[in-house]
Amino acid sequence: MLDILDTAGQEEYSAMRDQYMRTGQGFILTYAVTSRQSFDEASSVFREQILRVKDADKVPMV
């Protein structure tokens, strides 16, 4: 089964996002190729949040 969570503009739903991250087994992080900020958020902010929520050093991410 594949669940897709679109986090765009949903900063106020962080508890729900954390729950999805907690139960996810792997993640595909996407970003807008025309936005450096989008890339930075995907490659650092969301990556670190996933690792923190899962309490892990390594999690499958692309």
pLDDT at 17: 80
Q: How far is CA 61 from the centre of its chain?
A: 9
pLDDT at 13: 65
Map out the domains of the chain as residue ranges: 27-62
Write out the chain's pLDDT in tens, 62 residues. 787 877 766 666 677 788 888 888 899 888 999 999 989 988 888 889 999 999 999 999 98
Spatial neighbors of 7 by CB under 8 A, at least 6 apart, are: 17, 46
